[in-house]
Copies of this chain bind each other. A is one copy, B any other.
């Protein structure tokens, strides 16, 4: 039998009944003889409720103390799950992230995992216990303070533990039954993907797919951890996220293989009008943005205007960073000499993710034609080997997504999984 890491999210353990149900599921897996490590999130909306409580006490909660507060949520669900398993006759023990040896950077609220020293976990596994680790948290290697790993980080914890413990694979249990070719709530004809490579999954996540966090997939790819994303409410197989080499696709030789369509409304667009077209100007702009700690997604620089030898630069960034970016740009306005800054947060990004995209212009043409037929204006375009993204108005995102999904052959009633380009 093997060693498996299983992660259960907040909605899977929303109340006492759900915890008992999850315990029964784990007991069945244990009965098959597997060694099991569980990573668990806080129950339901606990983290949000604790955050609200903190804000009632302080408008800007001190970050070390906020981590001390928020981490109690996962600790509670871990202890309760251990109790439920004990009732079923399954030896189980709960550990905080710190007790499990998850060492992190000291950045409260957004710490990174530096290393995992799972001695206590291994000893408990050897003694025959199911080990339950509180997700979302670790301990700062330098200060010994408790840290939280940023939102959505329980998935990353699970994958990191799987790597550190040499687990056979890592199961991420969630409230959907796998990764779909598009968000099924917006594109009803979306289909579940049986198997997907790390790279494509990363692109889907970066493009807006919410089912698996980008960080988590990056970690899985780096450590070669096989991840199974599945529903906690059924026994059906979900989506396996695996090394690209495992996928039997001939994409790079003959066709483009489209994996899915993703959309994202979380970005805003900044356009800088009239940047003097001189060497170093664009670099200075992005230096200032980078020093403000802002990650940029797409960049488009238009052709220089002959009239005043200037150009316009547009880029997209997370909406939450919009204010900081504008401040950073204002600070260098006189130095650069640009005319104006435009800010637009009523945008959305639609991406087609697959393999062999750029070498098959037919895909791009099909995609753009579908958007044109929907009367959707393309504001920005960006392409790579495994992703084509466009920025459109946020009102257009949903119907453009559905149209693109159908046009590239992903709809469920289309038997062909492989897109056949023009001329076939």
Residues of A within 8 A of B (CB): 16, 19-20, 50, 53-54, 56-62, 64-66, 68-69, 72, 75-76, 78-80, 82-84, 86-87, 92-94
Contact = CB atoms under 8 A, between A and B. Distances in A.
Contact of A57 (B56, B80, B94): B80
30 contacts: A16-B53, A16-B56, A16-B57, A19-B57, A20-B57, A53-B80, A54-B83, A57-B80, A57-B83, A57-B87, A58-B87, A59-B87, A60-B87, A62-B82, A62-B83, A65-B79, A65-B80, A65-B82, A65-B86, A65-B92, A65-B93, A65-B94, A66-B79, A68-B82, A68-B94, A69-B76, A69-B79, A69-B80, A72-B72, A72-B76
Contacts of A86: 58, 62, 65
A83 B56 contact: no
Nearest to A52: B16
B78 A75 contact: no
Nearest to A19: B57
A76 B94 CA distance: 19
Nearest to A120: B144
B93 A64 contact: yes
The 5 closest A-B pairs by CB, nearest first: A16-B56, A72-B72, A68-B79, A69-B79, A62-B86
Given A57-B80, A65-B92, 11 more contacts: A53-B76, A54-B83, A57-B84, A58-B83, A58-B84, A58-B86, A62-B83, A66-B79, A66-B83, A69-B79, A72-B72
A80 B62 contact: no
B53 A65 contact: no
A60 B88 CA distance: 12
